[in-house]
Amino acid sequence: MPYIRIFRHYIHAPLIYLSIVEGLLAMAAAYLGYFTRHETFPPLIEYLPPASVFALVVIFSMIAMGVHESRIREGMVGMSLRSAVGIFLLGTAAVAVLFFLFPAVSMGRGELLFSALEAFVIIIVFRWAYFSLINEESLKRRVVVLGTGQRALKIAARMRRRYDRRAFKLLGFIHPGKDDQGELVSGYGAQVIHTTTPLPQFCEDNEVHEVVVAMDERRRNRDETGGLPLDELMECRLRGIQVCDVQQFIEREACKIDVDLLRPSWIVFSDGFVTNGVRAVSKRCFDLTASLLLLFFTWPFMLLAALCIRMEDGWRAPIFYKQTRTGLNDQPFDVIKFRSMRTDAEKAGKAIWASENDPRITRVGAFMRKTRLDELPQLLNVLRGDMSFVGPRPERPVFVDELGEKIPFYKQRHRVKPGITGWAQLCYPYGASVDDAKEKLQYDLYYLKNHSLLLDMIILLQTVEVVLVGDGAR
């Protein structure tokens, strides 16, 4: 099974297994680091608490740096560099703080240094051996898509990169007979399969694990008009071959909900979109805890940012910038940010999309946007309940009205509180157009459908990568 679904969020199973093994290796490195420092091994049970804390911090630090996903995009060198930042920068800093707060599970500075060095070497060697010896293709699900028209085009056009197909091998698109839309997928280099073999037999002959139904004609096939071959799909299902709809497939593989395929009936009958008292209380506790912790660690940087703004623009220039945004259930509120643009950025009184290399952005503002420092005052919005720590980014009412008219289901994103960071911010770069807003909405809808405390923690962890690497910032 390539995915494990926890609280409705899909997590790539091989990454979980790799993280478990690497956690055990990091724990072994903690014992080895003690041996390197003292030339004797520590008592196995007595040293287990600090070794476990060290291993957990190492794993979470590498997750925060997107280590495993980076291998697909950047290769072993990129993964190694991110691992180094995760272990030596984030990991050692986090371990030092934890050991200061909880001395009972601490290890010496020399032990920590050797443990970090040896954990890095052991984990990199393990990954090199694993990816050299294991055939990744054999671990992927073998998938065929039934359909070659508009719905199938969503997969052919949007899921062409190696990164998009990290969990499956696409064998091709089966032409289902008389399809009014023709072979649209062939325009994107997709392999179109013409076969007269019954679908169950074709899947058995080609060792297919999953059939993705992406036909434009959704009615049951009762003659030779090329309708949905329900009997053959049912036979596939009974033979143990997975069958899923194209919307479900995109949700699982791309972690978004395609707006063009979305129907109100799908929202009504699908799982997810759960909001209850327990979730509201747990999310509020998470918001308060995360905000107070972040304020505790970042207040010196906030003070420095305020000082830099005054030094660049004059001591009478405003430090903060308030702007009306749309919040939960379309209720307006004033968001607080460090001012990153000139004071006359919208002197005509008309809302303007931010653009790449926007001339209105100050030099200090450009740095703050790149590092996300300008967002930190929004912690006050979280503390007073206007925002959540994690959620869709709040938008200005004038843009909400415009986008609501042009993009279906756009206003549904306001069913949860807006957030400082969110799933769309991790998965898609900064947007400054209607098309960008539509793409980001698809990730916001995924969050709305599957939001949980676990997903909030994953987003919070991976936001570290965005801040350090600068992805998505403009």
Q: How far is 368 from 313, CA to CA, in rounded Å?
A: 15
Q: Are 252 and 168 in contact (CB under 8 A)?
A: no
The predicted pLDDT at position 359 comes to: 78
Q: Are 88 and 120 in contact (CB under 8 A)?
A: yes
Q: What are residue 264's phi and psi, to 5 degrees? A: -55, -35
Which of 196, 221, 254 is the endpoint of a domain? 254
Q: How far is 118 from 54, CA to CA, in rounded Å?
A: 12
The predicted pLDDT at position 16 comes to: 87
The predicted pLDDT at position 473 comes to: 42
Check the CA dihedral 445-450-456-460 and report its sign: negative
**Residues 414-427, mean pLDDT to the nearest whole number:** 92
Percent of the chain with pLDDT over 90: 54
Percent of the chain with pLDDT over 70: 92
Q: How far is 389 from 396, CA to CA, in rounded Å?
A: 18
Which of 135, 154, 173 is the endpoint of a domain? 135
In a domain, 363, yes or no: yes
Q: Are 255 and 10 in contact (CB under 8 A)?
A: yes
Q: What is the pLDDT of residues 154-210, one digit of tens each?
A: 999 988 888 888 889 999 999 987 554 568 898 888 899 999 899 999 999 999 999
Q: How far is 376 from 383, CA to CA, in rounded Å?
A: 12
Residues 89, 156 within the same domain: no
**Residues 373-389, mean pLDDT to the nearest whole number:** 94
Residues 221, 308 within the same domain: no
**Residues 72-101, mean pLDDT to the nearest whole number:** 86
Q: What is the pLDDT of residues 447-462, one digit of tens each?
A: 999 999 889 999 998 8
In a domain, 261, yes or no: no
Residues 287, 415 within the same domain: yes
Residues linked to residue 337 through DSSP beta bridges, in sequence order: 321
In a domain, 231, yes or no: yes
Between 92-96, 308-312, 355-359, the lowest mean confidence (pLDDT) is in: 355-359
Q: How many domains does the chain have?
A: 3
Distances (CA, A) of 406 to 46, 80, 402: 62, 43, 7
This prediction has a pTM of 0.87
Q: How many helices (H) and strands (E) does the chain have?
A: 18, 11
CATH number at residue 225: 3.40.50.720
Does the pLDDT of residue 474 top 50, yes or no?
A: no
Cα atoms in the Cβ-side hemisphere of radius 13 Å centred on 369:
20
Helix 67-84 × helix 48-64 angle, to 10°: 110
Residues 129, 147 within the same domain: no
Q: Residue 18's Cα: distance from chain center in Å? A: 19
Provide the domain limits for residue 36. Answer: 3-135
Tokens of 416: 């949860």
Q: How far is 305 from 307, CA to CA, in rounded Å?
A: 5
Does the pLDDT of residue 138 top 80, yes or no?
A: no
In a domain, 113, yes or no: yes
Residues 115, 150 within the same domain: no
Tokens of 174: 């089966």
Q: Are 230 and 200 in contact (CB under 8 A)?
A: no
> In the predicted model, what is the mean pLDDT of the chain?
88
The predicted pLDDT at position 297 comes to: 87
The predicted pLDDT at position 104 comes to: 84
Does the pLDDT of residue 222 top 70, yes or no?
A: no
Cα atoms in the Cβ-side hemisphere of radius 13 Å centred on 25:
19
Better-scored residue on pLDDT, 419 or 76: 419
Residues 440, 324 within the same domain: yes
Tokens of 362: 């100050």
Residues 412, 305 within the same domain: yes
Q: How far is 447 from 398, CA to CA, in rounded Å?
A: 24
Q: What is the pLDDT of residues 234-254, one digit of tens each?
A: 999 999 999 999 999 999 999
User: Amino acid letter at 21?
Assistant: V
